[in-house]
Structure 1
Amino acid sequence: MNRLQLSLGCCDYDRTRALFDGRVTVEGCDLLPLALHPEEIFHRAFNGQAFDISELSLSSHTVMTARGQADYVAVPAFVSRVFRHSGIYIRTDRGITRPEDLAGKTIGVPEYQITANVWIRGMLQDDYGVRANQVHWRRGGVEQAGRQERAPLQLPDDIDLAQIAPNATLSEQLANGELDAVFGAKAPSSFTRGAPNVGLLFPDFKQVEQDYYRRTRLFPIMHVIGIRRALVEQHPWLPVSVFKAFNQAKALAMTELAQIGHLYTSLPWGVSEYHASRALMGDDFWSYGVDANRHTLETFTRYHHEQGLSPRQVGIAELFDPSTLDLSKN
């Protein structure tokens, strides 16, 4: 049997690096890995299926799954996970001292559907009583004007979402006071350059996020790995083989994070942080697979539906190829 020649669009994380340097391969396949920024990957994947295997936004994949229009079949390799209390940037001159103060405010988002914002809005609702329909949402590029949703949305009438001016950016509007806050996966330059009256809602976000984990046991999932549906239909063995490879690459990364004889990361106390994370969150704190993440995935799909992104709560089994849900065991 000829080996499949497959392209891979994915960020070069420590947990995926072995797929880029060839230490791990997908059985039966030769990979052409492309190390790209997630935003570029998502745009190219959702607008033309540019990659055979692709890192995908969990939120956008859920949008398309709910519509029965997903071009990719996902496997539960969660290559990006981030606590998102650190992603709320505010005007410090608007009386926003608590999360509850965000109700009624005008908040910028690069896209309403991005996974980071689903988690932020869900946390605000569950922990602080601020619902998505209590905020005025304004969409646009953080640093470059004109950004739109990567997948078209059909939101309920009670969600106030409007595009900002075509030549404006969220970072500028936060700095000049047109917005009360910005939610997102990366810091606006108005924050990083220290613009007046721009700050974090949670300056001590590490402590807040650790407390959040202790209370909820949620480590938010951002991205999954998808395989073009046409490939899966032609090669039904492929999803498990891809999933196995991503698991092997992650295992190598975790071994390296624990190596104190010579440091694999440029952080003096990275090994100590690795062990502290295990003490708080368990040995397999960056777990893959559905069973270990069912609580997190069900919370996410509930948020997704409550925020108007999916017309019903999508079932977990719908999001992933069935063959990856029950793997053989030694």
Structure 2
Amino acid sequence: MSRTALRLALRDWDHLVPLAAGRVGTPDFDLRIDSRDTTPDVLAEPGLDGGETSFSRYVQARAAGDDRLVGLPAFVMRGFRHRCVLVRSDSPRTALAELAGARVGLTGWPDSGNTWTRSLLRAEGVELAGVDWRVGPLVPGESGKERLGPRRPPPNVSVLHEGESLVDELAAGRLDAVLTPFMPPELFTRDSRFRHLLADHAAAERAYWEQHGFVPGIHLVTLRRETVDAAPELPGVLLAALEKSKRHWVARRRLLADTTPWLLRELTESAQLFGDDWMPYGTERNAGMIRTFCTELHQQGIWPDPIDPGVLFPDPALAAPAVQPEALTAR
């Protein structure tokens, strides 16, 4: 494979730092990573070869036969969603089932994270058609995001008016709960008006892992079709480079764990629960998660037809990253 120049737009995930900083080798291409505050639109930006993409939007595009993006099963954003349900501090609600018939705000209707969170409500018997959904920005002044997707949402989904925000509506009592992948700054203050719906969301998330065996994937890395056509080996090579970066980051965090007061304890507990890798790359180890997500998109009405997971990552080189064991060693 000839040496290829590659420009990716990604957000500042810690596990990408070794790759961006040149700490792990990319012998087959010259890599440039553009750091972004928000998820880029890879197809809309000239000069990009790829970048971070919503899992939901990628799946919908491939289900529609649009293969302009080639996805890598490298879910650079993934996480449990039980923590993503907020209520007022004085709310009597403490369980997901208690959101049946409630007024619930969320940051985007077809979004990957919110799709996973709604799946938790469905599992608790909450009828999504019976919830009054309000879509809008989390905090005042937030803009630049397409929140409804390309398809008409269900009739019980409405959009907040100009100038309104989810946190203000929740604080005023016009919403009963909010689904959000990112926490409002106020949540980190001692006198916050908001709290997590689940007092011990970590316990619920451990139970989810025990039941399902995966941590939900939210965003993945994609490449433009023309980039892959010019270098067909690139997806497999990049998947391996991303795997090396992640492994290097884990090893360094275990060595240099004093970035938060209790990070070492959390790293130890995570390794004991999940093993060495709670966010595996490749289609083999993500097959169950991918299949479940495709089912949820259909069951929730985000996509009208059943989705074949096989159309998402057809390249056999993406089954598992080709990385040698020595990549686990910190340097």
Normalised to the residue count of structure 1, the TM-score between the two structures is: 0.88
- Aligned residue for 1:291, secondary structure, equals helix
Question: Residue in 1 aligned with 2:21?
Answer: 21
Within the candidate set 259, 263, 277, 1:266 is matched to: 259
CA contact (8 A) 2:135 2:159 kept: yes
1:157-176 matched pairs, under 5 angstroms: 157=154, 159-176=155-172
Aligned partner of 1:322 in structure 2 is 315
Query: How does 1:246-261 map onto structure 2 within 5 Å?
Result: 246-259=242-255
Distance 1:188 1:18 in 2: 29
1:72 and 2:65 matched:
no
Partner-residue secondary structure (3-state), 1:137? strand
Select between 59-68 and 192-201 the one with higher mean Cα deviation.
192-201
SS at match of 2:20: helix
Distance 1:161 1:266, change over 3 A: same
Matched residue of 2:215: which SS? coil
2:225 match:
229
Question: Counterpart in 1 of 2:272?
Answer: 279
Match of 1:293 in 2: 286
Q: Give the SS at the match of 2:14.
A: coil
In structure 1, distance between residues paired with 2:56 and 2:306: 12
Preserved CA contact (<8 Å) 2:42 2:49:
no
> Which position in structure 2 is the counterpart of 1:88?
85
- Code of the aligned partner of 1:291: E
Deviation at 1:284, TM superposition (A): 2.5
Structure 1 residue 106 and structure 2 residue 106: aligned? no
CA distance in 1, matches of 2:67, 2:190: 41
The answer as to whether partners of 2:6 and 2:32 remain within 8 angstroms in 1 is yes
Moved more, 52-61 or 190-199: 190-199
Verify the 8 A CA contact 1:46 1:150 in the aligned structure 2: no
Q: What are the ranges of 5 or more consecutive residues in structure 2 without an aligned counterpart? A: 325-331
Q: CA deviation at 1:155?
A: 4.2
Q: Percent identity?
A: 28
1:120 and 2:113 aligned: no
Q: CA deviation at 1:247?
A: 1.0
Contact 2:71 2:220 in 1 (8 A): yes
Q: Kindly tell me: are residues 54 and 329 of structure 1, through their superposed partners in 2, closer, same or farther at Cα, counting changes over 3 Å?
A: closer
Q: Provide the residue aligned with 2:31 in structure 1.
A: 31
> SS in structure 2 opposite 1:241?
helix
- What amino acid is the match of 2:235? P
Q: 2:3 matched to which residue of 1? A: 3
Structure 1 residue 308 and structure 2 residue 305: aligned? no
* Amino acid aligned to 1:18: P
**Amino acid across the alignment from 1:142:** L
* AA aligned opposite 1:318: V
Structure 2 counterpart SS, 1:41: coil
CA contact (8 A) 1:145 1:167 kept: no
List gaps (5 residues or longer) in structure 1. none
Shifted more, 181-190 versus 139-148: the winner is: 139-148
Q: Secondary structure of 1:165's partner?
A: coil
Whichever residue aligns with residue 282 of structure 1, its letter is G
Alignment partner of 1:215 out of 211, 217, 240:
211
Is the 1:100–1:130 contact (alpha carbons within 8 Å) kept by the matching residues of 2?
Answer: yes
Greater shift, 279-288 or 233-242, is seen at 279-288
RMSD: 2.5
Q: CA deviation at 1:52?
A: 1.1
Say yes or no: does 1:45 pair with 2:42: yes
Conserved 8 A contact 1:173-1:179? yes
Aligned-pair CA distance for 1:256: 1.6
Would the alpha carbon gap of residues 318 and 194 (structure 1) be closer, same or farther in structure 2, given more than 3 Å must change?
A: farther
- Amino acid across the alignment from 1:64: A
Secondary structure at 1:222 match in 2 = strand
Asked whether the 8 Å contact 1:140–1:146 carries over to 2, the reply is no
- Amino acid of the residue matched to residue 176 of structure 1? A
C-alpha distance in 1 between matches for 2:47 and 2:112 = 21
Deviation at 1:199, TM superposition (A): 2.3
Native 8 Å contact 2:108 2:148 kept in 1: no
Whether the 8 Å contact between 2:94 and 2:199 is mirrored in structure 1 is no
1:52-82 deviation digits (Å, cap 9, x = unpaired): 1201111121122222235311111121211
What is the deviation of 1:277? 1.1
Contact (CA 8 Å) 2:43, 2:224: kept in 1 or not? Answer: no
Structure 1 residue identity aligned to 2:118: R
- 1:113–1:239: structure 2 CA closer, same or farther, 3 Å change rule? same
- Asked if the contact 1:60/1:151 (under 8 Å) is kept, the reply is no
Cα 1:132–1:79 shift into 2, 3 Å: same
> Contact 1:104–1:136 (CA<8 Å) still a contact in 2?
yes
